[in-house]
Amino acid sequence: MNHYASGAAATPRPISVKKELFHHMLRQNIIVVMLLLASTLFASGIPIEDMSRSTLGIEYKGMVAGQTITRATVHSFFKPHYLMVRYAPLPYLLISAGAGATKFSTAEYDSTRFDGTRGVSAAIGVHGFSPRLIDFLMITAGTHAYLLNSKQDDYHYTAAVADPIAGIRFLIGDMLDIEAGAKGHILYGRMNGPASKSPLNFSNNNRVRGYLSTTLHSFPGGAYMTLSLDLSPQAKSDWSDGPHEASLSLQVGALIRTRRSVAITDKKGKKVDYFRNYDKMKEQQEKMADEVRK
C-alpha cells in the first residue's frame, strides 16, 4: 500500500538535491518552532470576567478539524482531545496548557488512504481580552497551538498547528456569550515512512476562516460549555468523510477557586463578594431604596 500517495502524494526527491531538501526542512522546522513559541490559546469559551488570580479553569476540549493538504489537495482531518488548565495572572489575560491525544486521517487518494492511531499531543497558549467597550461587547485576540501526532504501521504523521483568531464577544445577560470573527488555520508537518523512504513535508492549502462560538455558563461563575464552528471559503456541506475545510469543537469546563473569593468594599465600607454584575445590582438596589423612602 502506498501511504505516500495518501498523505503527501509526491515522488521522493533525487539524491542530487538532498542539500536543497535539507535547507527546506530546516526552514520548515524553524517555522514550526516559531509557531509554537508565538502561540496563544484559542479560549473563546471560558468566561474571562469570572477569572482571577485565585481561580483555575479545568476543561475538556474535543475537536474534529478538516483541511486539504499538499498540491494534490488531499482531504484530511484530525481529532484532538485535551484536558486543559487555564489561568489568568492579569485581568483580561488568559494562559493555558494541556495534554491529550490526536488522531489523523486522510481521504482516499491514488487507491489508498492513511488512518492513523491516536498519539500523545500537547497544547499551549495565551489569549487576550479587552475591557467592555460598551455594556455587552469585548474584543478578543489570540491563537491556539497544538501538536498533531498519529501513526499507522511504518508511517508516522507529525505537525504543529496554530489557529490565530481576532473577534468580538457579545455578552448576552449573565449566562450566554456569543463570539464571532476571523481565524487562521496553519498546519506544517512531516510524514515519515520506512527507512527506504525520504521524509516528506506537508502543509494545508487554505489558511483563512471565519468562526462562531456560543458559550453557556452558570451565574455568577462555575461551569461552562462552548460549541464552536469555523469554515473556510472552500468549505463543503458533505461531511460524510469528516468536515471539509471546517472545524467543530466542544469545550466543557469548570472554574475552581484556589482560595476564598476576593472581597471588595462598597460605598459604606462593607465587604462584599465580587461578581460580574455587582455594580449594576447595587445601583438598582439604591434606586429602589430611594423610591421606598418617597
Contact 46, 59 (CB under 8 A): yes
Same domain, 195 and 274: no
Predicted TM-score (pTM) of the model is 0.70
For the chain, the 3-state helix, strand and coil shares in percent, each to the nearest 5, are 15, 55, 30
pLDDT single digits (tens) 180-208: 999 999 999 999 888 767 888 999 999 99
Residue 266, pLDDT above cutoff 70 = no
pLDDT single digits (tens) 27-70: 555 544 444 433 333 344 566 666 777 888 899 999 999 999 98
Confidence of residue 279 (pLDDT cuts 50, 70, 90): low
Same domain, 268 and 248: no
Same domain, 161 and 92: yes
> What is the pLDDT, as a whole number, of residue 96?
92
Same domain, 178 and 216: yes
> What is the pLDDT, as a whole number, of residue 49?
66
> What is the pLDDT, as a whole number, of residue 90?
87
Same domain, 171 and 245: yes
Average pLDDT over residues 98-124: 91
Overall number of domains in the chain: 2
CATH number at residue 157: 2.40.160.20
User: Beta partners for 251?
Assistant: 61, 226
Same domain, 269 and 254: no
> What is the pLDDT, as a whole number, of residue 27?
56
Same domain, 143 and 95: yes
Same domain, 209 and 122: yes
Same domain, 56 and 107: yes
Contact 183, 165 (CB under 8 A): yes
User: Nearest Cα to 228, choosing from 82, 39, 45?
Assistant: 45
> What is the pLDDT, as a whole number, of residue 23?
54
> What is the pLDDT, as a whole number, of residue 81?
95
20 vs 190, higher pLDDT: 190
Residue 136, pLDDT above cutoff 50 = yes
**Backbone dihedral angles phi then psi of residue 218, each to the nearest 5 degrees:** -70, 160
For residue 91, say if its preceding peptide bond is cis, omega within 30 degrees of 0.
no
What percent of the chain clears pLDDT 70, i.e. is strictly above it?
72
21 vs 63, higher pLDDT: 63
Rg (CA), the chain: 23
Average pLDDT of the chain?
79
Contact 43, 177 (CB under 8 A): no
Q: Which domain holds residue 291?
A: 264-294
Residue 21 is classified by DSSP as H
